[in-house]
Amino acid sequence: MQLTFRIWRQEQAQAKGSFKDYKVGELTEDMSFLEALDHLNEILVLQDESVIAFEYDCREGICGQCGVFINGRAHGPHSNISTCQLHLRSFKDGDTIVVEPWRAKAFPIIKDLIVDRSAFDRIIENGAYISAKTGTAPEANAILIGKAIADRAMDAAACIGCGACVATCKNSSAALFTAAKINHLNSLPQGKLEAHQRVLDMTTQMEVEGFGHCSFTGACEVECPEGISITNIAEMNARLFKAQILG
């Protein structure tokens, strides 16, 4: 299988970037997309050229480190998977694949396909923790939580923080990410102590970081590798309204 990768190359944040084409052969449809980039980098090393910078860690759809725009879609042509879960069988022999970094004001490019997502870390720092003493695991399990609430919290907790929601949103909104983090903890009894402050602080930080507002297009839900529902955003807004009234 032979593919042409049209990849965004940018030396560093202030440098001017541009697309560069790489024709790559000896690929198989069973290779993952990241393995294809590895293969391309091995060729570049042999040619004494600078390798393409891209992020990954688990390569299993768990860590949220990978994430690029592929042919105009976050994480590629399929819904609800991460870039590391994409395989070359999704493309045809001879295809040209356009690969870009996430594009958002709050995610400045560091190099090539890597962006700085520390804005997410700062949102987390502003409330995604609990101060309630939960003790050891058996004690925590002794707190009975209704199945519907536990399921809702678990679904929100599935967010891997990859940033696809921001990258795919026409407003570069981080509403889905922030809502998932807030709803995960605010749903549970352990998270109730600072529930109002959490939603106030995390949504404020979201705005400070320069993310746009949510206009409910639903694009984030489609591209989210975990399929986090946009109903989380409505729930966050309801919690925010309540917190603003009650303080």
Give residues in contact with ligand FES (CB under 6 A): 56-59, 61-66, 82-84, 160
Which CB sits closer to ligand FES, 159 or 214? 159
Which CB sits closer to ligand FES, 64 or 191? 64
- Distance in Å, CB of 124 to ligand FES, minimum: 17
Which CB sits closer to ligand FES, 58 or 149? 58
Question: Cα–Cα distances in Å, from 62 out to 67, 90, 187, 198, 210?
Answer: 12, 21, 23, 25, 26
- Distance in Å, CB of 30 to ligand FES, minimum: 18
- Distance in Å, CB of 159 to ligand FES, minimum: 12
- Distance in Å, CB of 168 to ligand FES, minimum: 16
Cα–Cα distance for residue pair 41/55, rounded to 1 Å = 13
- Distance in Å, CB of 156 to ligand FES, minimum: 18
DSSP three-state, residue 197: helix
Cα torsion through 198, 107, 215, 186, rounded to 10: -20
Specify whether the CB–CB gap between 194 and 155 falls below 8 A. Answer: no
Task: Enter the tokens of residue 57.
Answer: 């860690």
Q: How buried is residue 63: exposed, middle or buried, by Cβ count under 10 Å (0-12/13-18/19+)?
A: middle
